[in-house]
Structures are given as C-alpha cells and as structure tokens.
Amino acid sequence: MRQFTAVVNPTAGGATSAAALLGVARLLREAGAGLETEYSHSLAHARELARRAGERGRVVLAVGGDGMAGGIGGALSGTGAVLGLVPAGRGNDFARALKLPTEPAALARVLLDGEARPVDTIEVTSAVHDRTVVLGSVYAGVDALANRHANTTRLLRGSASYYAGAVRAVAGWRTTRYRVTVDGTEHAFTGYTAVAANSGYYGFNRLIAPSARVDDGLLDVVMVHRAPRRLFFALMNELPTGAHVDRPQVHVLRGREVRIESDRAIPFGADGEVEAAVPVTAKVLPGALRVLC
C-alpha cells in the first residue's frame, strides 16, 4: 500500500486546499494507505519538504493549484520520486492536461491504484533564476502581465480574475519585437506573446497549445503576432477551445529548447509563480517526473 506525504501551503488558498485534501485523505486512510501532512510557509519550503519526502520513498501529494504542482513537481524532477496531485487552485491546468478527476472518490482511486506515468518537465533559466524546473509552460508577454494582474486583484476570483487581468494587460500593451530561438533557429516577429508549452492548458482552462503533450519530449511554441486589439480580444475568446491556432496571427512550432528575447524588458511567467523579465530559456527534460494518473 502506498505511503503519502501531502504538502500544503496554508497561506495560499488555505481553506480550499484543506477542504480538497480532507475529502481525499479520509478515503486514502480507509483504504489502508499511510498519509502524513506537511505545511509549508513558502514555495521554496514546499519544494524542500517534497524532496525530503521523496527521499524517504513516499508519494508526494501537491495540494493546491498550478504553482504548487509546478514547484513540487519541479523539485522532484529527475529524482525518481512519485508525484500525486490534489487539485485545489484557481487554474489546475496541469491536472486538467492529465485528465485527473476532481471528485474525491475518483481522485482517491487514481492515487491508490493509478500508474506512475513518466511526464516531461521544463528547465527554466534566466538572469534572475539560475535554474528552476516547472511542469506546464513558460510564457513571455501580455499573458505574463495578465497573470500578475490576476494574482493581485482582490475583487474577482477564478476565471473572472484572469479575464479582467487580460483586459487590463492588453489595454496597456506596447508593441514588442520578439526573437524566439527554437533549437538554434531564430524567429523574429512583433506581437503579444511567446509561449513554450509542455501542457496544452494555461491561465485557467485556456487551451493555448492544443497539440501539446506532456510526454512527447517536445515543447509547443506558440507565438501571437501583432493584430488590432479588437482582433486580439476575439482571439482571447477562442482560447478555451484552441481555435485561435487557426488564425494567421498565431504561429506554432515545436522544439526541445526555446529562448525568448525582446527589445524591451517584458515579464515572463512559469506555472503562475516564477516571475522575472526576459531573456529566458526553456528546455524540455523528457520523462523526468513520475506522476500518478
């Protein structure tokens, strides 16, 4: 029977995380599994707790949203330890890419009996972050700015906070010239964003890269070129279905290593947590993490 260590950040969506864990924890214990809970006071502390639990041979449960999943998954990447996800955030985009259930009984069955499947992770390097490993995507541009606005708003929650953040970011966006180098080949354009995606989803159920797969050893590189703002808002409305990739302003490539640069200091983000300014490099680490799904 599996032995679990759940890592929870009580200050980041604490009530939601606690509620999500309680429902699953009872079912795991009733089935005879061992479960201990560790409370972190920061994402760095959560990574440390996860590494320690993994070294003891325990399955590490990341309880929270994409920030916790990416932080803990990144800490376990390359170690051979097994990750389980208890989705309890606003987006839960990596869990969605894995088609994980949210209903406690179904999720408990996955954690108890599911296969530990190898998935890819992303090594992120920049001038500020020497090396960080995340799970979902690295994005540089208006979406990183929108995520910053969504994280700081106190009036809205869930998808509404992301949409309001995007409207605010697009309204104030200045023309940006990008240089995106994919496996050594440079692609220059003027536009809104460049995304290196391991998971197809980001930003609360937005299907930014419909063809992305978490286990193919490649990153899907989505570049959104310059367009009138009204057209960009129409494109935003197509993100939940992935229909935006059919527009001529959207170009998609695939590669193993992606470097994003620009003619001004624009922000980048990774799994909603890592935040700095470009340039940034994203490199896929094939099959580096084992996840229950």
Give the pLDDT confidence score for residue 229 in this predicted structure. 80
Specify the CATH number for the domain of residue 183.
2.60.200.40
> Do 30 and 89 belong to one domain?
yes
> Do 95 and 148 belong to one domain?
no
- pTM for the whole thing? 0.91
Question: At residue 159, does pLDDT exceed 70?
Answer: no
> Do 219 and 89 belong to one domain?
no
Write out the residue range of the structural domain in which residue 32 sits: 3-114
Model pLDDT for residues 229-271, shown as the tens digit of each residue: 888 888 888 999 999 999 999 999 999 999 999 999 999 999 8
Mean pLDDT (the chain, rounded): 91
If one counts the domains in the chain, the total is 2
Domain boundary among the residues 52, 86, 114 is at 114
Note if the bond before 279 is cis, omega within 30 degrees: yes
> Do 143 and 192 belong to one domain?
yes
Among 69, 61, 68, smallest CA distance to 27 is for 61
**16 vs 180, which has greater pLDDT?**
180
> Do 160 and 263 belong to one domain?
yes
Model pLDDT for residues 48-78, shown as the tens digit of each residue: 999 999 999 999 999 998 989 999 999 999 9
> Do 32 and 152 belong to one domain?
no
Which residue shows structure tokens 């703002």?
A: 229
Give the pLDDT confidence score for residue 279 in this predicted structure. 96
Question: At residue 80, does pLDDT exceed 70?
Answer: yes
Give the pLDDT confidence score for residue 171 in this predicted structure. 78
Contacts of residue 3, defined as CB under 8 A and 6 or more positions apart, other chains included, come to 33, 34, 35, 57, 58, 59
Average pLDDT estimate for 88-110: 92
Specify the CATH number for the domain of residue 45.
3.40.50.10330
> Do 39 and 183 belong to one domain?
no
Domain presence at residue 271: yes
- 127 touches 288 (CB < 8 A): no
Pairing verdict, β 34-39 and 3-8: parallel
Domain presence at residue 292: no
Domain presence at residue 293: no
Domain presence at residue 119: no
| Helices 158-171, 229-238: crossing angle, 10 deg rounding | 160
Instruction: Report how far residue 258's alpha carbon sits from residue 245's, in angstroms, rounded to the nearest whole number.
Output: 19
